A = this chain, B = another copy of it.
Amino acid sequence: MSDLVDLLLEGLPPQAVATDPDVTAAYRQDMAGFCASGVPAVVVHPTTVEQVQHVMRTATRLRVPVVPQGARTGLSGAANAVDGCIVLSLTRMDRILDLDPVNRTATVEPGVVNAALSRAAGEYGLSYPPDPSSWETCTIGGNIGTGSGGLCCVKYGVTAEYVLGLEVVLADGRLLHTGRRTAKGVAGYDLTRLFVGAEGTLGVVVRAVLALRPAPAPQLALAAEFPSAGAACDAVCAVMASGHTPSLMELMDRTTVRAVNAMARMGLPETTEALLLVAFDTPDPAADLAAVAELCRTAGATEVVPAEDAAESELLLQARRLALPALERLGTNMIDDVAVPRSQLAALLDGVAAIAERQGLTIGVCAHAGDGNSHPVVVFDAADPAAAARARESFDAIMALGLELGGTITGEHGVGLLKKEWLARELGPVGVELQRGIRSVFDPLGILNPGKVV
Protein backbone atom coordinates (compact mmCIF):
# COMPACT_ATOMS: atom_id res chain seq x y z
CA MET A 1 0.00 0.00 0.00
CA SER A 2 2.83 2.32 0.77
CA ASP A 3 4.19 1.56 -2.71
CA LEU A 4 0.87 2.55 -4.14
CA VAL A 5 0.74 5.86 -2.30
CA ASP A 6 4.36 6.68 -3.12
CA LEU A 7 3.73 6.08 -6.80
CA LEU A 8 0.51 8.12 -6.75
CA LEU A 9 2.36 11.00 -5.12
CA GLU A 10 4.81 11.08 -8.02
CA GLY A 11 2.04 12.61 -10.13
CA LEU A 12 -0.38 14.07 -7.59
CA PRO A 13 0.03 16.83 -5.02
CA PRO A 14 -0.16 15.66 -1.38
CA GLN A 15 -3.54 17.33 -0.79
CA ALA A 16 -4.99 15.17 -3.58
CA VAL A 17 -4.15 11.91 -1.84
CA ALA A 18 -6.01 10.79 1.30
CA THR A 19 -5.18 7.65 3.26
CA ASP A 20 -6.51 8.49 6.72
CA PRO A 21 -9.09 5.73 7.37
CA ASP A 22 -11.50 8.25 8.92
CA VAL A 23 -11.41 10.22 5.69
CA THR A 24 -11.43 7.33 3.26
CA ALA A 25 -14.33 5.65 5.07
CA ALA A 26 -16.56 8.49 3.91
CA TYR A 27 -15.95 7.38 0.33
CA ARG A 28 -17.05 3.78 0.76
CA GLN A 29 -20.52 3.97 -0.72
CA ASP A 30 -23.18 5.77 -2.67
CA MET A 31 -26.82 6.14 -1.56
CA ALA A 32 -27.98 2.62 -2.41
CA GLY A 33 -28.89 0.41 0.50
CA PHE A 34 -28.15 -3.30 0.72
CA CYS A 35 -24.97 -3.20 -1.31
CA ALA A 36 -21.61 -4.42 -0.08
CA SER A 37 -18.78 -1.92 0.09
CA GLY A 38 -15.10 -2.41 0.76
CA VAL A 39 -12.37 -0.36 2.39
CA PRO A 40 -10.42 1.82 -0.05
CA ALA A 41 -6.63 1.87 0.23
CA VAL A 42 -6.56 5.50 -0.84
CA VAL A 43 -8.84 8.26 -2.09
CA VAL A 44 -7.45 10.57 -4.78
CA HIS A 45 -8.82 13.93 -5.89
CA PRO A 46 -7.18 14.82 -9.20
CA THR A 47 -7.78 18.23 -10.72
CA THR A 48 -6.35 17.64 -14.21
CA VAL A 49 -6.63 15.10 -16.99
CA GLU A 50 -2.93 14.35 -16.63
CA GLN A 51 -3.39 13.50 -12.97
CA VAL A 52 -6.20 11.09 -13.83
CA GLN A 53 -3.91 9.50 -16.40
CA HIS A 54 -1.22 9.15 -13.77
CA VAL A 55 -3.68 7.45 -11.41
CA MET A 56 -4.74 4.96 -14.07
CA ARG A 57 -1.17 4.24 -15.15
CA THR A 58 -0.26 3.59 -11.54
CA ALA A 59 -3.28 1.35 -11.06
CA THR A 60 -2.41 -0.60 -14.19
CA ARG A 61 1.21 -0.98 -13.13
CA LEU A 62 0.27 -2.31 -9.69
CA ARG A 63 -2.95 -4.07 -10.80
CA VAL A 64 -4.95 -2.11 -8.21
CA PRO A 65 -8.70 -1.70 -8.74
CA VAL A 66 -10.04 1.81 -9.29
CA VAL A 67 -13.55 2.97 -8.38
CA PRO A 68 -14.49 6.29 -10.03
CA GLN A 69 -16.85 8.46 -8.00
CA GLY A 70 -18.87 11.62 -8.46
CA ALA A 71 -21.08 12.93 -5.66
CA ARG A 72 -22.09 9.38 -4.58
CA THR A 73 -25.77 10.17 -4.92
CA GLY A 74 -26.33 7.04 -7.04
CA LEU A 75 -28.95 4.49 -6.06
CA SER A 76 -27.43 1.24 -7.31
CA GLY A 77 -24.12 0.86 -5.48
CA ALA A 78 -22.17 1.52 -8.68
CA ALA A 79 -19.82 3.86 -6.83
CA ASN A 80 -19.18 1.57 -3.86
CA ALA A 81 -15.55 0.94 -3.02
CA VAL A 82 -13.94 -2.49 -3.11
CA ASP A 83 -11.27 -3.55 -0.63
CA GLY A 84 -7.85 -2.11 -1.34
CA CYS A 85 -9.02 0.05 -4.23
CA ILE A 86 -8.14 3.54 -5.30
CA VAL A 87 -11.26 5.68 -5.01
CA LEU A 88 -10.96 8.16 -7.87
CA SER A 89 -13.09 11.13 -6.90
CA LEU A 90 -13.75 13.51 -9.78
CA THR A 91 -15.51 16.21 -7.78
CA ARG A 92 -12.59 18.65 -7.89
CA MET A 93 -12.63 18.66 -11.69
CA ASP A 94 -15.60 20.97 -11.72
CA ARG A 95 -15.00 23.59 -14.38
CA ILE A 96 -17.49 24.56 -17.06
CA LEU A 97 -14.96 25.05 -19.86
CA ASP A 98 -17.24 26.47 -22.51
CA LEU A 99 -20.86 27.47 -23.07
CA ASP A 100 -21.70 28.11 -26.70
CA PRO A 101 -25.14 29.51 -27.54
CA VAL A 102 -24.67 29.30 -31.33
CA ASN A 103 -23.79 25.61 -31.28
CA ARG A 104 -25.90 25.00 -28.18
CA THR A 105 -23.17 23.04 -26.46
CA ALA A 106 -21.45 23.02 -23.10
CA THR A 107 -18.00 21.55 -22.52
CA VAL A 108 -17.57 20.49 -18.91
CA GLU A 109 -15.38 18.56 -16.53
CA PRO A 110 -17.03 15.58 -14.84
CA GLY A 111 -17.30 17.12 -11.38
CA VAL A 112 -19.60 19.95 -12.46
CA VAL A 113 -22.80 19.77 -10.43
CA ASN A 114 -25.94 19.30 -12.53
CA ALA A 115 -27.66 22.37 -11.09
CA ALA A 116 -24.54 24.51 -11.62
CA LEU A 117 -24.61 23.66 -15.33
CA SER A 118 -28.35 24.29 -15.53
CA ARG A 119 -27.93 27.70 -13.96
CA ALA A 120 -24.96 28.63 -16.11
CA ALA A 121 -26.84 27.58 -19.26
CA GLY A 122 -29.84 29.62 -18.10
CA GLU A 123 -27.73 32.76 -18.25
CA TYR A 124 -27.49 32.23 -22.01
CA GLY A 125 -31.19 31.46 -22.43
CA LEU A 126 -30.36 27.77 -22.65
CA SER A 127 -31.15 24.71 -20.58
CA TYR A 128 -29.56 21.36 -19.79
CA PRO A 129 -32.72 19.26 -19.38
CA PRO A 130 -31.75 16.08 -17.47
CA ASP A 131 -32.89 16.72 -13.91
CA PRO A 132 -32.44 13.78 -11.53
CA SER A 133 -33.88 14.34 -8.05
CA SER A 134 -30.36 14.86 -6.74
CA TRP A 135 -29.69 17.61 -9.28
CA GLU A 136 -28.56 20.11 -6.65
CA THR A 137 -25.66 17.85 -5.65
CA CYS A 138 -25.06 15.16 -8.28
CA THR A 139 -22.34 15.61 -10.89
CA ILE A 140 -22.44 15.46 -14.68
CA GLY A 141 -19.83 12.69 -14.59
CA GLY A 142 -22.08 10.65 -12.32
CA ASN A 143 -25.08 11.42 -14.52
CA ILE A 144 -23.16 10.09 -17.52
CA GLY A 145 -21.92 7.05 -15.63
CA THR A 146 -25.40 6.08 -14.50
CA GLY A 147 -27.36 7.37 -17.50
CA SER A 148 -29.65 9.29 -15.21
CA GLY A 149 -33.10 10.66 -15.98
CA GLY A 150 -35.48 12.85 -14.05
CA LEU A 151 -38.84 14.55 -14.25
CA CYS A 152 -38.28 16.13 -17.66
CA CYS A 153 -37.71 12.93 -19.62
CA VAL A 154 -41.23 12.49 -20.94
CA LYS A 155 -40.58 15.47 -23.20
CA TYR A 156 -36.83 16.00 -23.15
CA GLY A 157 -35.29 12.55 -22.79
CA VAL A 158 -32.44 11.26 -20.63
CA THR A 159 -28.76 12.06 -20.13
CA ALA A 160 -27.67 9.83 -23.02
CA GLU A 161 -29.43 12.08 -25.50
CA TYR A 162 -27.36 15.09 -24.44
CA VAL A 163 -23.86 13.62 -24.59
CA LEU A 164 -22.22 14.47 -27.93
CA GLY A 165 -18.60 13.68 -27.24
CA LEU A 166 -16.26 12.61 -24.46
CA GLU A 167 -12.68 12.55 -23.38
CA VAL A 168 -12.01 9.39 -21.46
CA VAL A 169 -8.95 8.14 -19.61
CA LEU A 170 -8.69 4.43 -20.31
CA ALA A 171 -7.70 1.75 -17.83
CA ASP A 172 -4.08 1.96 -18.98
CA GLY A 173 -3.96 5.74 -18.77
CA ARG A 174 -4.28 6.51 -22.46
CA LEU A 175 -6.63 9.29 -23.49
CA LEU A 176 -9.52 8.53 -25.84
CA HIS A 177 -11.58 11.13 -27.69
CA THR A 178 -15.05 10.00 -28.74
CA GLY A 179 -17.88 11.58 -30.64
CA ARG A 180 -18.02 15.13 -31.78
CA ARG A 181 -18.90 18.76 -31.20
CA THR A 182 -21.26 18.79 -34.18
CA ALA A 183 -25.02 18.29 -34.35
CA LYS A 184 -24.57 15.12 -36.38
CA GLY A 185 -21.88 12.52 -36.98
CA VAL A 186 -21.59 8.86 -37.95
CA ALA A 187 -17.84 8.31 -38.10
CA GLY A 188 -17.35 4.77 -36.80
CA TYR A 189 -19.01 2.94 -33.93
CA ASP A 190 -20.72 5.09 -31.33
CA LEU A 191 -18.28 4.82 -28.44
CA THR A 192 -19.72 7.90 -26.76
CA ARG A 193 -22.99 6.19 -26.08
CA LEU A 194 -21.19 3.11 -24.82
CA PHE A 195 -19.77 5.11 -21.90
CA VAL A 196 -23.17 6.48 -20.89
CA GLY A 197 -24.54 4.16 -18.23
CA ALA A 198 -21.29 2.15 -18.11
CA GLU A 199 -20.81 3.14 -14.45
CA GLY A 200 -17.12 3.78 -14.87
CA THR A 201 -16.33 0.23 -15.97
CA LEU A 202 -15.00 1.17 -19.43
CA GLY A 203 -13.01 4.30 -18.64
CA VAL A 204 -12.98 7.52 -16.67
CA VAL A 205 -14.84 10.41 -18.28
CA VAL A 206 -12.72 13.54 -17.83
CA ARG A 207 -14.48 15.89 -20.22
CA ALA A 208 -17.87 15.99 -21.92
CA VAL A 209 -19.40 17.97 -24.75
CA LEU A 210 -23.10 18.26 -23.97
CA ALA A 211 -26.00 19.41 -26.08
CA LEU A 212 -28.10 22.23 -24.67
CA ARG A 213 -31.58 23.37 -25.65
CA PRO A 214 -33.29 26.74 -25.67
CA ALA A 215 -34.70 27.38 -22.21
CA PRO A 216 -38.33 26.29 -22.17
CA ALA A 217 -41.21 28.52 -21.11
CA PRO A 218 -42.30 28.15 -17.46
CA GLN A 219 -44.44 25.06 -16.87
CA LEU A 220 -48.10 25.18 -16.01
CA ALA A 221 -49.38 22.12 -14.17
CA LEU A 222 -52.57 20.44 -13.02
CA ALA A 223 -53.26 17.82 -10.37
CA ALA A 224 -55.88 15.15 -10.98
CA GLU A 225 -57.24 12.76 -8.36
CA PHE A 226 -58.18 9.22 -9.34
CA PRO A 227 -60.06 6.46 -7.53
CA SER A 228 -57.42 3.91 -8.60
CA ALA A 229 -53.92 3.74 -10.03
CA GLY A 230 -55.42 1.98 -13.04
CA ALA A 231 -57.68 4.93 -13.81
CA ALA A 232 -54.74 7.32 -13.56
CA CYS A 233 -52.74 5.13 -15.95
CA ASP A 234 -55.69 5.10 -18.36
CA ALA A 235 -55.52 8.89 -18.36
CA VAL A 236 -51.76 8.75 -19.05
CA CYS A 237 -52.37 6.48 -22.06
CA ALA A 238 -55.19 8.67 -23.34
CA VAL A 239 -53.02 11.78 -23.13
CA MET A 240 -50.14 10.15 -25.01
CA ALA A 241 -52.38 8.50 -27.61
CA SER A 242 -54.01 11.84 -28.37
CA GLY A 243 -50.70 13.38 -29.43
CA HIS A 244 -49.98 15.58 -26.41
CA THR A 245 -46.42 15.86 -25.13
CA PRO A 246 -46.45 17.14 -21.56
CA SER A 247 -43.24 18.44 -20.06
CA LEU A 248 -43.98 16.35 -16.97
CA MET A 249 -46.43 13.57 -16.14
CA GLU A 250 -45.95 12.15 -12.65
CA LEU A 251 -47.98 9.81 -10.50
CA MET A 252 -48.03 9.47 -6.72
CA ASP A 253 -50.04 6.85 -4.87
CA ARG A 254 -51.88 7.39 -1.58
CA THR A 255 -48.96 6.22 0.54
CA THR A 256 -46.65 8.70 -1.13
CA VAL A 257 -49.14 11.57 -0.95
CA ARG A 258 -49.61 11.02 2.78
CA ALA A 259 -45.89 10.79 3.36
CA VAL A 260 -45.32 14.08 1.53
CA ASN A 261 -48.06 15.77 3.53
CA ALA A 262 -46.63 14.41 6.77
CA MET A 263 -43.19 15.76 5.90
CA ALA A 264 -44.08 19.13 4.45
CA ARG A 265 -47.78 19.90 5.11
CA MET A 266 -48.37 20.35 1.38
CA GLY A 267 -52.15 19.92 1.69
CA LEU A 268 -52.28 17.25 -1.01
CA PRO A 269 -55.57 15.30 -1.12
CA GLU A 270 -55.12 12.26 1.14
CA THR A 271 -58.25 10.35 0.17
CA THR A 272 -57.24 9.87 -3.44
CA GLU A 273 -55.77 6.55 -4.55
CA ALA A 274 -53.57 8.14 -7.20
CA LEU A 275 -52.60 11.72 -7.83
CA LEU A 276 -51.49 12.58 -11.36
CA LEU A 277 -49.47 15.73 -12.05
CA VAL A 278 -49.32 16.93 -15.65
CA ALA A 279 -47.49 20.01 -16.89
CA PHE A 280 -46.91 21.77 -20.20
CA ASP A 281 -44.31 24.31 -21.26
CA THR A 282 -45.97 24.89 -24.64
CA PRO A 283 -46.97 28.28 -26.07
CA ASP A 284 -50.52 27.82 -24.73
CA PRO A 285 -50.23 25.54 -21.69
CA ALA A 286 -53.70 26.46 -20.36
CA ALA A 287 -55.32 25.12 -23.54
CA ASP A 288 -53.25 21.93 -23.40
CA LEU A 289 -54.12 21.47 -19.72
CA ALA A 290 -57.82 21.96 -20.46
CA ALA A 291 -57.66 19.15 -23.04
CA VAL A 292 -55.81 16.93 -20.58
CA ALA A 293 -58.30 17.74 -17.82
CA GLU A 294 -61.07 16.47 -20.07
CA LEU A 295 -59.14 13.26 -20.79
CA CYS A 296 -58.55 12.80 -17.05
CA ARG A 297 -62.27 13.17 -16.30
CA THR A 298 -63.15 10.68 -19.01
CA ALA A 299 -60.66 8.25 -17.43
CA GLY A 300 -62.43 8.64 -14.10
CA ALA A 301 -60.72 11.54 -12.31
CA THR A 302 -62.83 12.68 -9.36
CA GLU A 303 -61.18 16.08 -9.14
CA VAL A 304 -58.97 18.05 -11.52
CA VAL A 305 -57.26 21.13 -10.17
CA PRO A 306 -55.25 23.32 -12.54
CA ALA A 307 -52.56 25.50 -11.00
CA GLU A 308 -53.29 29.20 -11.19
CA ASP A 309 -49.82 30.19 -12.29
CA ALA A 310 -46.21 29.08 -12.61
CA ALA A 311 -45.58 29.52 -8.86
CA GLU A 312 -48.47 27.22 -7.93
CA SER A 313 -47.26 24.76 -10.57
CA GLU A 314 -43.81 24.81 -9.02
CA LEU A 315 -45.35 23.92 -5.66
CA LEU A 316 -46.94 20.81 -7.18
CA LEU A 317 -43.59 19.80 -8.66
CA GLN A 318 -41.98 20.44 -5.31
CA ALA A 319 -44.42 17.98 -3.75
CA ARG A 320 -43.36 15.37 -6.27
CA ARG A 321 -39.68 16.04 -5.64
CA LEU A 322 -40.27 15.38 -1.95
CA ALA A 323 -41.72 11.91 -2.62
CA LEU A 324 -38.53 9.92 -2.00
CA PRO A 325 -37.30 11.89 1.04
CA ALA A 326 -40.82 11.68 2.50
CA LEU A 327 -41.02 7.91 2.04
CA GLU A 328 -37.60 7.59 3.65
CA ARG A 329 -39.09 8.92 6.89
CA LEU A 330 -41.49 5.97 7.06
CA GLY A 331 -38.79 3.37 7.53
CA THR A 332 -35.87 1.84 5.69
CA ASN A 333 -36.35 2.05 1.92
CA MET A 334 -35.54 -0.07 -1.08
CA ILE A 335 -36.18 2.04 -4.15
CA ASP A 336 -36.97 0.14 -7.32
CA ASP A 337 -36.74 1.62 -10.81
CA VAL A 338 -38.69 -0.55 -13.23
CA ALA A 339 -39.74 0.88 -16.60
CA VAL A 340 -42.44 -0.76 -18.71
CA PRO A 341 -44.18 0.27 -21.92
CA ARG A 342 -46.52 2.96 -20.65
CA SER A 343 -49.53 0.92 -21.70
CA GLN A 344 -48.39 -1.66 -19.10
CA LEU A 345 -47.98 0.76 -16.22
CA ALA A 346 -51.41 -0.02 -14.77
CA ALA A 347 -50.60 -3.74 -14.77
CA LEU A 348 -47.28 -3.02 -13.06
CA LEU A 349 -48.87 -0.90 -10.34
CA ASP A 350 -51.65 -3.43 -9.73
CA GLY A 351 -48.96 -6.09 -9.43
CA VAL A 352 -46.98 -3.99 -6.98
CA ALA A 353 -50.08 -3.55 -4.82
CA ALA A 354 -50.61 -7.31 -4.85
CA ILE A 355 -46.99 -7.91 -3.85
CA ALA A 356 -47.29 -5.41 -0.97
CA GLU A 357 -50.42 -7.15 0.27
CA ARG A 358 -48.94 -10.62 -0.05
CA GLN A 359 -45.78 -9.62 1.84
CA GLY A 360 -47.57 -7.47 4.40
CA LEU A 361 -45.32 -4.50 3.59
CA THR A 362 -45.88 -0.87 2.71
CA ILE A 363 -44.81 -0.07 -0.84
CA GLY A 364 -45.23 3.57 -1.80
CA VAL A 365 -45.21 4.28 -5.51
CA CYS A 366 -44.20 7.37 -7.38
CA ALA A 367 -43.74 7.14 -11.11
CA HIS A 368 -42.56 9.08 -14.11
CA ALA A 369 -45.88 7.92 -15.54
CA GLY A 370 -45.36 9.42 -18.99
CA ASP A 371 -42.26 7.25 -19.37
CA GLY A 372 -43.77 4.12 -17.83
CA ASN A 373 -40.94 4.41 -15.29
CA SER A 374 -42.02 3.68 -11.73
CA HIS A 375 -40.19 3.83 -8.42
CA PRO A 376 -41.95 1.46 -6.05
CA VAL A 377 -40.40 2.12 -2.65
CA VAL A 378 -40.45 -0.85 -0.32
CA VAL A 379 -40.66 0.44 3.26
CA PHE A 380 -39.66 -1.85 6.13
CA ASP A 381 -38.05 -2.11 9.53
CA ALA A 382 -34.39 -2.93 8.96
CA ALA A 383 -34.07 -4.13 12.55
CA ASP A 384 -36.41 -7.01 11.71
CA PRO A 385 -34.50 -9.57 9.61
CA ALA A 386 -37.72 -11.24 8.48
CA ALA A 387 -39.10 -7.94 7.25
CA ALA A 388 -35.82 -7.20 5.49
CA ALA A 389 -35.99 -10.56 3.73
CA ARG A 390 -39.58 -9.90 2.67
CA ALA A 391 -38.52 -6.46 1.43
CA ARG A 392 -35.80 -7.95 -0.76
CA GLU A 393 -38.28 -10.55 -2.05
CA SER A 394 -40.75 -7.81 -2.94
CA PHE A 395 -38.03 -5.76 -4.60
CA ASP A 396 -37.09 -8.76 -6.74
CA ALA A 397 -40.71 -9.64 -7.49
CA ILE A 398 -41.26 -6.14 -8.85
CA MET A 399 -38.33 -6.54 -11.25
CA ALA A 400 -39.61 -9.95 -12.35
CA LEU A 401 -43.00 -8.41 -13.03
CA GLY A 402 -41.41 -5.55 -14.97
CA LEU A 403 -39.57 -8.00 -17.24
CA GLU A 404 -42.76 -10.04 -17.69
CA LEU A 405 -44.56 -6.90 -18.86
CA GLY A 406 -41.95 -6.21 -21.52
CA GLY A 407 -40.00 -3.74 -19.40
CA THR A 408 -36.54 -3.21 -18.01
CA ILE A 409 -35.14 -3.66 -14.49
CA THR A 410 -33.78 -0.12 -14.53
CA GLY A 411 -35.13 2.93 -16.27
CA GLU A 412 -32.65 5.45 -14.91
CA HIS A 413 -30.87 4.36 -11.73
CA GLY A 414 -28.53 1.81 -13.27
CA VAL A 415 -27.37 -1.68 -12.41
CA GLY A 416 -24.41 -1.26 -10.08
CA LEU A 417 -24.33 -3.97 -7.44
CA LEU A 418 -28.00 -3.82 -6.59
CA LYS A 419 -29.33 -5.33 -9.81
CA LYS A 420 -26.33 -7.16 -11.15
CA GLU A 421 -27.92 -10.61 -10.94
CA TRP A 422 -31.04 -9.28 -12.59
CA LEU A 423 -29.15 -7.79 -15.49
CA ALA A 424 -28.28 -11.25 -16.77
CA ARG A 425 -31.98 -12.12 -16.76
CA GLU A 426 -32.82 -9.06 -18.82
CA LEU A 427 -29.95 -9.37 -21.29
CA GLY A 428 -29.88 -13.12 -21.77
CA PRO A 429 -26.70 -15.18 -22.18
CA VAL A 430 -25.80 -13.83 -25.64
CA GLY A 431 -26.12 -10.25 -24.47
CA VAL A 432 -24.08 -10.90 -21.33
CA GLU A 433 -21.31 -12.57 -23.31
CA LEU A 434 -21.03 -9.63 -25.71
CA GLN A 435 -21.12 -7.07 -22.91
CA ARG A 436 -18.31 -8.93 -21.13
CA GLY A 437 -16.38 -9.01 -24.39
CA ILE A 438 -16.71 -5.25 -24.79
CA ARG A 439 -15.61 -4.69 -21.21
CA SER A 440 -12.47 -6.76 -21.85
CA VAL A 441 -11.59 -4.66 -24.87
CA PHE A 442 -11.53 -1.54 -22.71
CA ASP A 443 -10.19 -3.03 -19.51
CA PRO A 444 -8.32 -6.27 -20.15
CA LEU A 445 -6.89 -6.37 -16.60
CA GLY A 446 -10.28 -5.85 -14.98
CA ILE A 447 -9.17 -3.00 -12.74
CA LEU A 448 -11.99 -0.54 -13.50
CA ASN A 449 -14.81 -0.66 -10.99
CA PRO A 450 -14.65 -4.45 -10.67
CA GLY A 451 -17.82 -6.31 -9.74
CA LYS A 452 -20.21 -3.76 -11.18
CA VAL A 453 -22.64 -4.09 -14.15
CA VAL A 454 -21.67 -7.35 -15.93
Q: List 30 A-B contacts (CB under 8 A).
A: A101-B240, A101-B241, A103-B341, A104-B240, A125-B243, A153-B184, A160-B186, A160-B190, A180-B339, A182-B339, A182-B373, A183-B339, A184-B408, A187-B408, A187-B419, A187-B423, A188-B431, A189-B194, A189-B453, A189-B454, A190-B194, A191-B431, A191-B434, A191-B435, A214-B243, A214-B245, A283-B283, A434-B441, A437-B442, A438-B438
Contact in complex: B190, A102 (CB < 8 Å): no
Beyond contacts A178-B431, A189-B198: 16 other A-B pairs, Cβ-Cβ < 8 A, are: A102-B237, A103-B341, A125-B243, A158-B186, A180-B407, A182-B371, A182-B411, A185-B408, A185-B410, A186-B412, A188-B454, A189-B202, A189-B438, A190-B190, A193-B193, A437-B441
A3 proximity list for chain B (CB < 8 A): none
A385 at the interface (CB under 8 A from B): no
A430 at the interface (CB under 8 A from B): yes
A58 at the interface (CB under 8 A from B): no
Shortest Cβ-Cβ A-B pairs, 8 listed:
A437-B441, A147-B186, A214-B243, A193-B193, A185-B408, A183-B371, A184-B411, A186-B197
A103 to B373, CA, bound (A): 12
Q: How large is the interface on A (under 10, 10 to 19, 20 to 34, 35 or more residues)?
A: 35 or more
A435 to B188, CA, bound (A): 8
Closest to A101 in B: B241
Give chain A's interface residues, CB within 8 Å of chain B.
100-105, 125-126, 146-147, 149, 153-154, 158, 160-161, 170, 174-178, 180-191, 193-194, 196-198, 202, 214-215, 237, 240-241, 243-245, 282-284, 339-343, 368, 370-373, 406-415, 419, 423, 426-428, 430-431, 434-435, 437-442, 453-454
